[in-house]
Amino acid sequence: MASAQQTIGSGMATRRKKPKTPLPKPTQGLVGQPLKRVEDHRLLTGQGKFLGDIRLPGLSYATFVRSPYARARLKHLNSVAALSLPTTVAVFTANDLIGLGDMPTVEEAPEKYPTKRPVLVQDEVRYLGEAVALVISTDPYAAEDAAELVDVSYEPLEPVVDPVKAMLPDSPRVHEHIPNNIAYHLKTESGDVERAFSCSDGVLTLELENQRVSPTPLEPRGVAASYDPGSSNLTVWSTTQDPHSLRGILSAGLGLPEAKITVIAPDMGGAFGQKISVYPEDFAIAFAAIRLRRPVKWLESRRENLLVGTHGRGQVQRIELAHTNDGRVLGVKAKIVSDGGAYSTSGAFEIPELTCAMVTGVYDVQDVRTELYSVLTNKVPQDAYRGAGRPEACYLIERAINALAKKLRLDPLEVRRKNFIPSSKYPYRTASGYTYDSGDSHLALSTLLERSQVHSRLTELRKSFPDRLFGLGFSTWTEITSFGPDFPQTAAVSVTKEGEVLVAIGGHPHGQGHFTSMVQIVSDELGVDPGSISIAEGDTRLLPWSSLTAGSRSAALTGTAVLLSARKIKGKMSVIAAKLLKDNPSELVFERGQIYSMAKPERRIAFKEVASAAYLPSKLPEGLEPTLYEYTAYAPSNYAFPSGAHAAVVEIDPETGAVRPLEYYAVDDVGRVINPLLAEGQVHGGVAQGLGQALLEKVVYDRSGQLLNAGLGDYCLPSTTDMPRINWSRIETVTYANILGVKGIGEAGTIAATPALVNAVEDALGAAGGEPLGMPLLPELVWKSLSSKSRTATASSSAHEGDRASG
Amino acid sequence: MKKVSLRINGKEYASEIEPRLLLVSFIRDICGLTGTHIGCDTSNCGACTVIMDGKSVKSCTVLAAQAVGKEITTIEGLAKGEELHPIQRAFWEHHGLQCGYCTPGMIMQALWYLKLNPSPTEQEVRESLSGNLCRCTGYQNIVDSVLAAAKYIRNGDQAR
Ligand code: FES
Ligand code: FES
């Protein structure tokens, strides 16, 4: 079955060839338009309400006392001096947390070990910065003073830092009950892997490290809590992507019914996965507010954020490709050792599982074996970072394809084309059991080459500056979005008597622009002015349940839940309007604040008038419930799989080894786009993070488990001068994953950019390539690689066109 | 503790402060002007940028006591009622913000720079903002916003 597709310029309207069923037609057509954001005015004028901006009567301020060791026995803790300050309200240690449960862990299963993670350490510290005490003061500066006065002594123990060495029998154990520190072991196999390998002409083996990085949202984390003893209601404000889950987990930990807990996620300065998991600070602050009967607030410092905010990535990877001499991949074996950190968290196990599942990328190969070791180390737990498992998979396969091309002296694009899943094979069932909904990698790549003209750009650059080193790298990517059956997204739409529309959405957007895209969907469906629509989110009282904002899933899931709720409203209003117009409800059109039938467009009634009627039971058709409120929980049974092709052009300064990204091109298939302005913004930001990992970022631990770069002076985020311009455009294949036809865009750039940039640097190094490059590609590393060969060799190999690696 | 008075957005704010109090804490906690943000503890991120006597400063790196007698402008001092400053308008029109956390600092830095150089090139804008970090946008739309703002201001839009 051929998927319908065509290419679309950035921001241009969408046209399709013969979809199987007609997609919903917008009445006013705001969907697809680059509507400017409705959420911006507050943020532009300094009126955002972030966690740090929350003020409560009688507010007290918390600071945590944190371990300076990665692994140590807590010997002795004395808080007398801290308590002697007049500003100190309380000091809590593990012994004071009476009745508070431990942090959540995974369920026990064969080869899967849960761990006990305390809120405050009682005996053994397992990662640097793990909290041993909580200090609360009347003033934030005084809280820091008091924390300094808490006297703690430790007996340092030998930490487990390297995840590969951690698996050796003589390694110390992070948890005594977990042999070889392997907390989770998973093997998968499909097809006939041994046969594929024995039939092949050769095997390409590549070992890579996908380094641990910090998501580093510009706003660090924070929690505030306030308890009302009269009603025993607890309100928790938290920087979280997942307010309802936090409510449930707090309920279990505190022993307070969920119905008594409200979680509010205020404006949030980015998250990128780091604000998904529930943290010890959430538990501790809520507990303290209840105990002290006064509101408590904690704001994470940047240093703490880098130390104890979850890190992403962190995999040692090995891949083997069984191949033919002309570059066809017959079979894949992949082994992932994941640096899970100190505790068995679900994130640390599920994320590398996704890497295994997606390791074949956009390539048609069915004989696949994967093996995952989630290893515990004395580091902060690993969790999601934009892409969560898929960037690691894309990096591995896209580097491996280039290495294969180099081995066989073929053009890496030729090897890609030879192995792409042909568009005729979609929906395509992967070896790992997923069904790719739609895609066309051949089209994405040819569109990229045609629009960017990167090959001639490179030739031009090399001709104009023969003494300089330029490189071109590609990646052809895919990922899973629209996570699915067990993660419903919810939305409610209501209409007031005045005809104003209120939309409540679950999860918690934090920069994606959901207010705008949801307004577009509702405005089209109900035919009302965007200005009459308000959106509310980030408060567990708004909706009974919702899952998180993550995984490029909000447009698809929240968007569909919003659309379905708006449709239910429309259905009910049609019945009321039909009575008032004496017409047939099924033929009514909602447009520009008016409702009328196609047959008699001159007889119309205002949307507002119908809304008012809904509140007057006497005016309603019999049996219709008064008021207008509709709710939808949406959980699709399948996922969506966006894909695309990216290209990077880089320059290397041979004197210093510094890499300068010059140009970046991307052609993505993300299904239908609700707002191209927002979608493109997601790609820009995603590419910046992918570039950060390729060129700049890594959390650096020394052998004693000390984090050497816990500040933004040393943990290097890309800045304005590190970023090239990004040229983004799209192709579109039709997906039936959801009725909006959207696939998700949030992680595309992060996934694709890292391998494209590293491949570009390898290309620029030309014949240098001995050892495969590691990340981040700091000048020192590149310079060393360069100086291991003569400049003359570089110049001659650089004269070749494009990403060609010589062996 | 010492009583000081600071002039922020044309208004006097008096308070008893400790000598160690940072300007950013004075602005946020004492004046309640929470549009100025904090993103780091090492003067790297620029989220706290304000204008002090016509120059951009990172308010986490200035003591409140050092700001006595100076004229401070924060993000709250830019718009005239509902009417956005041209730089704010340009950020809106060019989608120059996502989460909005870096935005006040970016705008204040651009405000200072465009006074210094009303017709900057793209590279100059990039360099002028290189001390302000953004984790969301990849900077392209921020740079485009500032270039557009420069044009609005040159064409006579109100700038303060
Ligand atoms: S908070 Fe001032 S530079 Fe980061
Ligand atoms: S918009 Fe989020 S940090 Fe810049």
**A639-681 pLDDT per residue, tens:** 999 999 999 999 999 899 999 999 999 999 999 999 999 999 9
Alpha-carbon distance of A147 to B42, in angstroms, equals 20
pLDDT at A301 over 80: yes
Q: Which atom of ligand 1 is nearest to the CA of B48?
A: 2
Give the mean pLDDT of A535-549.
93
B21 lines ligand 2 (CB under 6 A): no
- Answer whether A511 sits within 8 Å of B98, measured CB to CB: yes
Q: Could you tell me where the DSSP H helices lie in A332-439?
A: 346-357, 390-408, 412-419
Q: How far is CA A236 from CA A86, A232, A755, in A?
A: 27, 13, 40
- The CATH topology of domain A165-218+309-410 is Aldehyde Oxidoreductase; domain 4 (3.30.365)
Q: Which of A41, A44, A302 sits opposite B41 (nearest CB)?
A: A302
Alpha-carbon distance of A273 to B140, in angstroms, equals 23
- Answer whether A272 sits within 8 Å of B47, measured CB to CB: no
Query: Is A48 in CB contact (< 8 Å) with chain B?
Result: yes
Give A85 or A557, the one with higher predicted confidence: A85
Give the mean pLDDT of B63-82.
96
- Start-to-end CA span in chain A (Å): 39
Average pLDDT, chain A: 92
Residue A165 burial (CB count, 10 A): 13
Confidence (pLDDT) at B157: 78
Name the residue with the closest Cα to ligand 2, atom 4.
B134
pLDDT band at A769, cuts 50/70/90? Answer: low
B136 lines ligand 2 (CB under 6 A): yes
Q: Which of A21-35, A90-104, A286-300 is predicted least confidently?
A: A21-35
Scored b (16 or more CB within 10 A) or e, A127-154 reads: bbbbbbbbbbbbebbbbebbbebbebeb
- The domain A1-19+420-482+638-807 having CATH identifier 3.10.129.10: the answer here is no
Query: Is A678 in CB contact (< 8 Å) with chain B?
Result: yes
Confidence (pLDDT) at A186: 98
Confidence (pLDDT) at A789: 61
Best of B1, B29, B37, B40 to disrupt the A interface (most A CBs within 10 Å) is: B40
pLDDT at A496 over 70: yes
pLDDT at A192 over 50: yes
Q: H-helix or E-strand containing A155?
A: strand A151-156
- Answer whether B47 sits within 8 Å of A45, measured CB to CB: no
pLDDT band at A767, cuts 50/70/90? Answer: low
Q: Which two tokens stand for residue A409?
A: 């002296």
Q: Which of residues 481 through 510 in chain A touch B, CB cutoff 8 A? A: 510
Confidence (pLDDT) at A770: 61
What does DSSP assign to residue A13? P
pLDDT 10s digits, A509-520: 888 889 999 999
B99 lines ligand 2 (CB under 6 A): yes
Residue A490 makes CB contacts below 8 A (sequence gap 6+) with A505, A506, A543, A544, A545, A546, A561, A631, A632, A633, A634
| Nearest ligand, measured from the Cα of B41 | 1
Domain with CATH 3.30.365.10 in chain A: 1-19+420-482+638-807, 165-218+309-410, 486-634
pLDDT band at A419, cuts 50/70/90? Answer: very high
Residue A293 makes CB contacts below 8 A (sequence gap 6+) with A227, A229
Name beta bridge partners: A492.
A504, A631
Best of A10, A39, A44, A49 to disrupt the B interface (most B CBs within 10 Å) is: A44
Confidence (pLDDT) at A22: 39
Give the mean pLDDT of A287-313.
98
Q: What is the CATH number of domain B86-154?
A: 1.10.150.120
Q: Which of A381-395, A473-487, B10-24 is predicted least confidently?
A: A473-487
Query: Helix axis angle, B140-154 relative to B86-93, nearest 10°?
Result: 140
At A318, the amino acid letter reads R
Structural domain spans, chain B = 2-76, 86-154
Confidence (pLDDT) at A485: 77
Half-sphere exposure (Cβ direction) of A470: Cα atoms closer than 13 Å: 24
Provide the whole-model pTM. Answer: 0.94
Give the mean pLDDT of A4-14.
37
pLDDT 10s digits, A602-644: 899 999 999 999 999 998 999 999 999 999 999 988 899 999 9
The percent of residues above 70 in pLDDT, for chain A, comes to 94
| β B11-17/A261-264 pair status | unpaired
Average pLDDT, chain B: 96
Highest mean pLDDT among A506-515, A567-576, A797-806: A567-576
Confidence (pLDDT) at A5: 41
Q: Which two tokens stand for residue A281?
A: 């600070």
Alpha-carbon distance of A278 to A381, in angstroms, equals 11
Half-sphere exposure (Cβ direction) of B154: Cα atoms closer than 13 Å: 12
Q: Is the Cβ–Cβ distance between A196 and A374 less than 8 Å?
A: no
- The domain B2-76 having CATH identifier 3.10.20.30: the answer here is yes
pLDDT at A15 over 60: no
Give the mean pLDDT of A564-591.
94
Could you please report the per-residue DSSP string of A64-122?
EEE-SSSSEEEEEEE-HHHHHSTTEEEEEEGGG-TTPPPBP-PPPBTTB----B-SS-S
- The domain A51-157+220-267+275-305 having CATH identifier 3.30.1490.100: the answer here is no
Give the mean pLDDT of A731-748.
92
pLDDT band at A578, cuts 50/70/90? Answer: very high
pLDDT at A378 over 70: yes
Highest mean pLDDT among A16-25, A26-35, A53-62, A737-746: A53-62
Name beta bridge partners: A151.
A78
Extended strands (E) in A275-385 = 296-299, 312-323, 329-341, 367-376
Dihedral, CA atoms, A347, A353, A354, A355, nearest 10 degrees? 110
pLDDT at A338 over 50: yes
Would the ipTM clear 0.85, i.e. be above it? yes
- The CATH topology of domain A486-634 is Aldehyde Oxidoreductase; domain 4 (3.30.365)
Alpha-carbon distance of A112 to A345, in angstroms, equals 11
Could you please report the per-residue DSSP string of A236-266?
EEE--S-HHHHHHHHHHHHT--GGGEEEE--
| β A329-341/A367-376 pair status | parallel
Q: Which of residues 51 through 90 in chain A touch B, CB cutoff 8 A? A: 52-53, 55
pLDDT 10s digits, A217-233: 999 999 999 999 999 99
Confidence (pLDDT) at A134: 98
pLDDT at A21 over 90: no
Q: Which atom of ligand 1 is nearest to the CA of B61?
A: 2
pLDDT at A143 over 60: yes
Residues lining ligand 1, judged by CB closer than 6 Å? B 38-40, 43-48, 58, 60
- Of A638, A744, A758, residue with least CA distance to A690: A758
Best of A43, A239, A267 to disrupt the B interface (most B CBs within 10 Å) is: A43
